[in-house]
Structure 1
Amino acid sequence: MSASRCCLSPCPLAIAIAIAALLPFAPAFAQDTTGEARQDAVTLDAVQVTAQRRVENVRDVPVSVTAIDGEKLNVLASGGEDVRFLSGRVPSLNIESSFGRAFPRFYIRGLGNTDFDLNASQPVSLIYDDVVQENPILKGFPVFDLDQIEVLRGPQGTLFGRNTPAGVVKFESRKPSQETDGYAQVSYGSHDSLNVEGAIGGALSPNWSARAAVLYQKRDDWVDNTHAPGPEDKLEGYEEMAARLQLLYENQNGFSALFNVHARDLGGTARLFRANLFRKGSNDFADHYQRDQVAIDGSNFQKLESQGASARLSWDLGRTTLYSITGYESVDTLSRGDIDGGFGAAFLGPGNSGPGVIPFAAESADGLPDHSQFSQEFRVESNEWGRFDWQAGLFYFDEDITVDSFNYDSLAGGVQNGHAQQAQRNKAWAVFASGEYDVGEAFKLRGGLRYTQDKKNFSASVLQAAPFGTPVSGPFPVKTDANDVSWDLSGTYALNPDVNLYARVAKGFRAPSIQARLLFSPMPSIADSEEVVSYEAGIKADLWNKRARMGFSVFRYDVKDQQLVAVGGANNSAILLNADKSLGQGFEFDMEAYLTPDLLVTLGSSYNDTEIDDDALAVAVCGATFFAPAHCTVTDPTAVTPNGTTVAFIDGNPLPQAPKWIHNLTARWGVPVGDGEFFVYTDWAYRGEINFFLYEAREFTGKPLVEGGLRVGYNWEAGNYELALFGRNILDEERAVGGIDFNNLVGFINEPRTWGLEFTARF
């Protein structure tokens, strides 16, 4: 950002630095308030997190972390939103999907993976109830009956370890207790959407307690298919069910066991692609675009079933506590879509294809017919050993997966004309240790090490040849064997009882990845291990007699051999590759404050500047080169290879799906009315401009996106009953959030504006 531009309006970076600089003096400022005002003021409860595998006040944790719980979590998920509702609602977090509700892709500080393959690995790990959800399909499990969500930014390779160089998103369900409690919630809204969820828990005996939670969500199709005849008339509906049952055993000898079984069933529309969504030469929507209409000749559906179970055991042994965490997950899914986003093909003659130019038809499906994941962790931690406390453990991971990829001929009624299969067995184990030492009253040091070994045994075959692909062939075996040592070192200094300064350096690791889109490229591709070293410093504080809290951090990271995927090109291939280096730097700012006893405001902001640093790295660009030159307007330097493929050199480009700016704001105002409270809650998120792919093109540059939410309601009987009107994307912003680049400027868009009415009863 230039100095002249910054002078036109306040720079968020300058504002954040100024706030951070004033924090040491905040307690002194607070002393100027009157005693009466302090007595009447509402204070914030302490936020407890488990970012370091222990329950701690977020202020004491030397990591950039944001926690979401309570009413804020319920508001953001209003009306059946899937996990993508978190995107932009937390500094440095972006989430998108080309599979709709089933396959979220997470990005923290710009680090993520745009790969759509069901065998893809991601550098952001999702931990649900202490069990890693490795396959990207597992990461989409519905969000309901949760205590808290924590977003841990930066490498978390010591205590979590499993592919966490970018960070961790951690979900924690509400646990059973001896106290009977629960809730029931129902909402109805736009497009005949219905959301029903509830939970009940309590004691079964003096030692046993249980909690059961269920979720049902549906939305009717609201997008018309204007092409007829076709296999689909209406699209974008879904129906989803999920359930979780937990049993907790506790005795007086310090032993506890928490058992968890859960399942999910999803059916409906896959991601809806739109042909020639962009006007050539710009990222404006084409004239024919209408949000509630498409014209496709291929099938579009998605179905998913998943099951899982876990056992979390703990033994209080006096000076130490031993933990055992066992997890099992399995998922079966199939997603089919019209990838070209239109109908017909240009070679059929005028009027036989559209909208716009459709060089050739593309319809495909991907599925997981077989999948199982087993994980086991043993961990022992010290119990208040004085100036030094520690924890150490062992981790084992075993995943067996089969991926089916199908191709279909839309011009012949959708007959299958291609089938390839991948199979992979992934075994990994790790040993780790971490410790904290109180150097003095105000200064604490933490550090940790983790040794990981990761082995993959992979094979791929073409079982039925497809047009423009390889013939029946294979198997093509691939084996990888990698080991690495991750580590972190941090220090925390208490400037005063309310303000902590911290600094951290950490190294993360992601194991090699293997992928084979054999229907479109002849051989499997492999990306070697990547390593991240990150430097971070920050300040965390409680302000104004605990009426406000804030966190501010600055960071820089260097990625060696970053795993990237070149998605698309002429053959719709997905090629894994390594960049020599990638760089990122920026800041995060979080604040929560009672501006008045009736007005609670939260504010978040982040700046992420990312760059690919590899002079020789080039990737194929958009367009079906079988028929025509590139269909998009590439702004990178380009070259034509001997086989006629146009490639772009991507040195200096930002990472894909990595917005420089993310801002979010919520405000809740409530006033007593009768025996209850009338309230207004609004939330806003801004995501800056993004690149959809590794190369830069005018059409495939996503415009900034602003989405707002509104909730107006009344609660009574101490908040046990609530009736509220809610709206999501209330400005009805329409933006492309991703694209398919192999064919004809295909893109997909954000969710539409929705309104609804919700009733909640708690007991």
Structure 2
Amino acid sequence: MKTYKLASIALCVATALQTNVATAQETQKKESVLEKITVTAQKRTQSIQDVPISVATLSGEQFESIFSGGEDILALAVRVPGLYAESSNGRVAPRFYIRGLGNTDFDLAASQPVSIIMDDVVKENVILKSFPLFDIQQVEVIRGPQGTLFGRNTTAGIIKFDSVKPTEDFDAYGKMSLASFGTINIEGAVGGGLADNLAGRFSFLSQQRDDYIDNAFSGEDEALGGYDELAWRAQLLFTPIDDLSMLLNVHGRDLDGTASVFRANVFTKGSNDLNQNYDRDSVFYDGNLLSNGFDNNPQEYENLGFSLKVDYDLRDLTFTSITANEEADGFSLGDVDGGAGSGDTSIPGFIPFTAVTQDKMNDLEQFTQEFRIASNYSDALNWQVGSFYYDSSFNVTSIDGFFGATTVFHENKTWAIFGQGTYDVSDKLTITGGLRYTDDEKSLIVGDQNVNGFALVIGAASVQDYDPINVQDEQVGYELSANYKLDENSSLFARYANGFRAQSIQGRDVAFEGAPSVAEAETISSVEFGVKSDMLDNSLRLNAAVFYYTVDDIQFSAIGGGANSVSLLNADKGSAYGFEIDATYVVNQNLVLTGGYSYNKTEIEDNSLSVFPCGANAEFGPNCTVTDPMTNDNRALINGNPFPQAPETIFNFTARYSVPMGDDGEFFAYTDWAFQGKTNFFLYESVEFQTDNNFEAGLRIGYENFAQNYTVAIFARNLTDEDNVKGAIDFNNLAGIMNEPRVIGIEGKISFF
């Protein structure tokens, strides 16, 4: 595998370096004005200041710096106001939240209210959402319900990734960094005209890190924590006539690494501070003794996909077709209890029983087809109509050291028709309205259960028979918005939108002698008001929005308890209100500042809803300090609690200062900081399982030469080496999931034109 990766990298780099076409760019004098940012949040290219939606973007140095230390897609968390991400599945299966709305379910079949769209294709399954980010043109975070413009509807919002597309003009770049823990990142791309009316682009990313965490139980040094990942993308753009373009995108991924590292008893009951059991560089794992030769939380995944986008310009109309298919397979294994042994012989701290689980994703296939027709009128009215079809199937096999193996088969089919129209009432006022109809069907079939399980042998479990589960729903959603220009540089907007997330089916509990669970569809109603303004002679951009939403029959996942179950449930209602501020200030030609802040107050509204908290069941009480009212059978009443994994506040800022060096270059220093406010991990509230005031910082210092198009820099991620708790495992002991350590490195990049 490594030989293949190195050969692929060498070929790409050689292609770029051997090309004779390289044009030096003339150094241009910087101006102390804002850069114009365009977005496609409404499926047409517009200035971000003209879109009546709360949108934030990441691109260029601001984006690249976040990922300079080998980070995965989770690095986007708290880098945009209102956006959060976390995972208990390592570098796959990320869970995203916008304005507090997300899903904490760790199952590979979990549905999420945040939609990920990469190069116009929805990535619905959690494995597909983790595709590595490289050669990215721009990221757009579109807050609030979406559905009348995009193929897949979403109740929370969209994170939209657009890669650099092929053009007739040659360009290429190569980038490499060396950092702590043997981290090596190599990224590159080459593109240009291949023949008449044919252009191509190939880009790749190779990320490697050595294992750096010792397994103190088995005596293995540097046993886990590393990864080896290769991802690539090949694009062909064919334009046989001026009005027709066909873009083929083929991409793949190969990951061999470590799943999440769980750390037993790192909290002392009654406190959420890390205790003496926490050691970033070591764990006590005995999972290798119970997992048929797999040890130290391994993780392997492969993904291959393609898409074909066709745009045909019919003068006043544009027809668009997007056909895509994704396939993926892989597995993760976790020593879920986070330690070794059980009872009196456990370490570190008390571990009642050993828990080791492996989840395999087999034969994931996702097919999508989207058609759109959009007007190109020069009149006041423009519109778009479209249809969308989605078909996904896969099976998940869960292997537990006690119960054995269980396989469940999932299938989801949905189709929708949608449309949106925009009318310029005057030079100042624009009105937009949209409508969507969606039909969604899901099914679950339970396969063989408890195959060769020890629990079956000793009579502690039995093979169970479950009837197939089929659910279906259809709903109509709509939105209405208005944008009013106060003057050339500022505007006000208002937007109302509603939508729904279809029923969800959870089958993971079958692996532990539990029944599948179903959550009914949820519906959201959202209203927001905002202002967008460029001020101070076009040097300060200030965008802000306030919002309020309610979700009827909101879907939640009750995770943990005495059985470590994963059960879907509906609360009567969930509500949230808050605001976001995004700002950019060009102080002068040498100093640029950006900042963002969000406040998000979420609340579960259900007087009777209760869940088993940390280690509790009807017989035994919780092993953490629950602050909610408790029922007689040890369940926590969660009415009034915040949504899980929904930071109440997010604050981030960046600063870039540069000093000219001769006529051709500059020295620069760039820093970015991200702060995360109070965050509750689970549906119930406890002293141990919440955090506040987490932060991480980055620093990048280097030299950029404009004439020769190269950059060299030193960098640091998690600059102050913070130990931040990102999640927890609450059924067995007081286990935590931590952030990555400080990474320091050097990088270089060269571009060719």
TM-score over 0.5 for the pair: yes
Amino acid at match of 2:481: S
Provide the rounded CA distance (Å) in 2 between the counterparts of 1:233 and 1:89: 31
The question of whether the paired residues in 2 share the 8 Å contact of 1:521 and 1:571 is answered with: no
Measured after TM superposition, the shift of residue 704 of structure 1 is 2.1
Map 1:273-422; keep pairs closer than 5 Å. Answer: 273-298=262-287, 299=295, 300-346=297-343, 350=344, 352-408=345-401, 417-422=403-408
The answer to whether structure 1 residue 657 and structure 2 residue 648 are counterparts is no
Q: Is the 8 A contact 1:461 1:476 kept in 2?
A: no
* CA distance in structure 2 between the aligned counterparts of 1:213 and 1:507, rounded to whole angstroms: 38
Q: Superposition pairs for residues 242-281 of structure 1, below 5 Å?
A: 242-281=231-270
**Separation (CA, whole Å) in 2 of partners of 1:160 and 1:124:** 13
The answer for the alignment partner of 2:107 in structure 1 is: 117
Deviation at 1:287, TM superposition (A): 1.6
Q: Deviations over 1:654-709 (max 9, x none)?
A: 00011111000000011111331100000000011211100001111123211000
Aligned to 2:483: 492
The residue that corresponds to 2:735 in the other structure is 746
**1:422 to partner: Cα distance:** 1.1
Q: Is the 8 A contact 2:152 2:388 kept in 1?
A: no
CA–CA distance in structure 1, aligned partners of residues 195 and 699 of structure 2: 43
Contact kept, 8 Å, 1:476 with 1:523, in 2: the verdict is no
Aligned to 1:533: 525
**Matches of 1:457 and 1:624 in 2, distance apart?**
31
Name structure 1 gaps, 5 residues minimum: 1-38, 410-416
Cα 1:467–1:623 change in 2 (3 A) is: farther
Q: Indicate how the Cα distance of structure 1 residues 277 and 683 shifts in structure 2: closer, same or farther if over 3 A, else same.
A: same
Q: Does the alignment pair 1:518 with 2:510?
A: yes
CA RMSD of aligned residues (A): 1.5
Give the partner amino acid of 2:494.
Answer: A
1-structure distance, mates of 2:669, 2:159: 29
Which structure 2 residues correspond to residues 643-654 of structure 1 after superposition, within 5 A? 646-654=634-642
Greater CA deviation, 716-725 or 336-345? 716-725
Distance 1:76 1:273, change over 3 A: same
Deviation at 1:418, TM superposition (A): 1.0
Choose from 648, 658, 662 the match for 1:670: 658
Match of 1:557 in 2: 549
Give the deviation of 1:370 after TM superposition. Answer: 1.3
What is the match of residue 601 of structure 1?
Answer: 593
1:84 is displaced (CA, Å) by: 1.1
2:211/2:222 contact within 8 Å kept: no
Q: What is the aligned length?
A: 709
1:161 to partner: Cα distance:
5.2
**1:261-304 deviation line (CA, Å, top 9, x unaligned):** 00000011110000101111110112221111111111310000
Which of 134, 158, 179 is 2:124 aligned to?
134
Distance 1:470 1:165 in 2: 40
Query: TM-score, normalising length from structure 2?
Result: 0.92
Measured at CA, do residues 233 and 183 of structure 1 come closer, stay the same or move farther in structure 2, by a change above 3 Å? closer
Q: Is there any run of 5+ residues in structure 2 with no aligned partner, and where?
A: 1-28, 288-294
Match of 2:154 among 164, 176, 181: 164
Instruction: Determine if the alignment matches structure 1 residue 183 to structure 2 residue 173.
Output: yes
Moved more, 73-82 or 388-397: 73-82
* CA shift for structure 1 position 526: 0.2
| One-letter code aligned to 2:319 | L
1:144 shift after superposition: 0.2
Conserved? CA contact 1:278–1:745, under 8 Å: yes
1:689 equivalent in structure 2: 678
Mean alpha-carbon deviation: is it higher for 602-611 or for 292-301? 292-301
Q: Is residue 151–residue 388 contact of structure 2 (8 Å, CA) maintained in 1?
A: no
What is the SS of the residue equivalent to 2:62? Answer: helix
Secondary structure of 2:34's aligned partner: coil
How many angstroms apart in 1 are the aligned matches of 2:641 and 2:504? 23
Q: For the Cα contact (< 8 Å) 2:696–2:720, is it kept in 1?
A: yes
CA distance in 2, matches of 1:404, 1:114: 20
Aligned partner letter, 1:512: Q
Identity across the alignment (%): 48
- What SS does the aligned partner of 1:72 have? helix
How far off its partner does 1:431 sit? 0.4
Aligned-residue offset at 1:162: 2.2
In the other structure, the counterpart of 1:30 is: none
Following superposition, the deviation at residue 522 of structure 1 comes to 2.0
Q: Secondary structure at the match of 1:490?
A: strand
Q: 1:522 to 1:476 in 2, by over 3 A?
A: farther
Secondary structure class of the residue paired with 2:598: strand
Is the counterpart of residue 196 in structure 1 residue 189 in structure 2? no
Residue 429 (structure 1) aligns with: 415
Supply the distance in 2 between the matched residues of 1:719 and 1:283 (Cα, whole angstroms): 52
The equivalent residue for 1:10 is none
Q: What residue identity is the alignment partner of 1:727?
A: A
Structural mapping, 1:581-730, within 5 Å: 581-623=573-615, 625=617, 629-641=621-633, 646-674=634-662, 675-718=664-707, 720-730=709-719
Kept after mapping to 2: 8 A contact 1:41/1:547: no
Deviations 1:46-102 (A, max 9, x none): 111010111111111010000111111111111211111111110000100101111
Q: In 2, are the aligned partners of 1:507 and 1:533 still within 8 Å (CA)? A: yes
TM-score by length of 1: 0.91
Distance in 2, Cα, partners of 1:718 & 1:88 = 35
1:478 maps to 2:469:
yes
Aligned to 1:33: none
Matched letter for residue 92 of structure 1: G
Q: Retained in 2: the 8 A contact 1:702–1:738?
A: no
Q: State the alpha-carbon separation in 1 of the partners of residues 516 and 671 from structure 2.
A: 48
Please state how far the C-alpha of 1:470 moved relative to its aligned partner: 5.0
Aligned counterparts of 2:30 and 2:213: Cα–Cα separation in 1: 52
Higher mean alpha-carbon deviation, 628-637 vs 563-572, is at 628-637
Q: Distance in 2 between matches of 1:475 and 1:579?
A: 26
8 Å contact from structure 1 (residues 461, 472) kept in 2: no
One-letter amino acid of the counterpart of residue 426, structure 1: N
Deviation at 1:252, TM superposition (A): 3.4
SS at match of 2:514: coil
The answer on 1:208 being equivalent to 2:198 is yes
Q: Secondary structure at the match of 1:139?
A: helix
| 1:444 is aligned to 2:430 | yes
Alignment of 1:93-112 (within 5 A): 93-112=83-102
Q: Which moved more, 1:445-454 or 1:377-386?
A: 377-386
Which residue of 2 is the match for residue 19 of structure 1? none
Residue by residue, what CA displacement relative to the aligned partner does 1:728-760 show, whole Å, maximum 9, x if unpaired?
Answer: 010111021100111001111011111000000
Tell me the SS of whatever aligns to 1:75.
helix
Which residue of 2 is the match for residue 460 of structure 1?
446
Change (3 A) 1:229 1:668: closer
Aligned-partner SS, 2:583: strand
Q: Distance in 2 between matches of 1:180 and 1:44?
A: 28
